[in-house]
Amino acid sequence: MKKKIIITLDGWSSCGKSTLAKQLATKLGYTYVDSGAMYRAITLYFLQHQVLWTDEKMLTEALKKIELAFVEDSATGKSNIYLNGKNVELLIRELVVAEKVSEVSAIKEVRNFAVAKQQEMGKQKGVVMDGRDIGTVVFPEAELKIFMTADNEIRIKRRFIEMRELDSNVSIEEVKKNIESRDYTDSNREISPLRKADDAIVLDNTHLTTGQQFEIAFNWANEKSSM
């Protein structure tokens, strides 16, 4: 009999964390949680409501008005993030949000807000969550921690293809600049910077297909859930 575990996937922007996390969750019958989508949705709210996040009072008031939920689309089986009852899955992927999300996610109050929700979602185990601090801060006791990485050039190319579908005017230079600056901010911020947990396993997928990386990670998950 296999036990339900928590699987964390942390790593740099656009190194395929969500692809692998979704594959694992589907195969294992687990819940997939995209923690980055939560920071993106908070950033979107701030942009839509002209919230000055450097103003502590305004920030605290704004956070009280934010309701986040993941809802599965019954037609596609995909999980979408809802911000105050509205599906914002596509809006949060736009470059205007990507350009501000690292700044917003470095704020202590924002992190406390998001981490509390993430920990709540993991209470029953059977969760695959991807992000930057999931194995280090959100679930330091997780049974399987994966730290994902891939060469910069590959990551930029992958994100460019994704962004192109949303906005045909986006250039590869813009995507490169955004990825590099987010990686820098995410790994150098004071609170919960991106780093590999001591007990995380590194998965470099530069030369792996999504199928190959899945096989590797699925074996790890089986091992950990049989222990």
Which residues contact ligand DC (rule: CB under 6 A)? 13, 35-36, 39-40, 101-102, 105, 131-134, 182, 186
Specify the length of the chain in residues: 227
Number of neighbours of residue 52 by Cβ within 10 angstroms: 11
Q: Which is nearer to ligand DC, 40 or 145 (CB)?
A: 40
Phi, psi of 86 (to 5 degrees): -115, 135
Q: Which is nearer to ligand DC, 148 or 217 (CB)?
A: 148
Q: Which is nearer to ligand DC, 36 or 122 (CB)?
A: 36
Residue 129 CA to residue 168 CA, distance in Å, equals: 30
Q: Which is nearer to ligand DC, 180 or 204 (CB)?
A: 180
**Burial state string for 97-129 with b = 16 or more CB within 10 A and e = fewer than 16:** bbbbbbbbbbbeebbebbbeebeeebeebbbbb
Q: Which is nearer to ligand DC, 145 or 182 (CB)?
A: 182
**Burial state string for 165-200 with b = 16 or more CB within 10 A and e = fewer than 16:** eeeeebeeebbbebbeebbebbeebeebebebbeeb
Residue 130 CA to residue 213 CA, distance in Å, equals: 15
Q: Which is nearer to ligand DC, 48 or 226 (CB)?
A: 48
Phi, psi of 10 (to 5 degrees): -115, 160
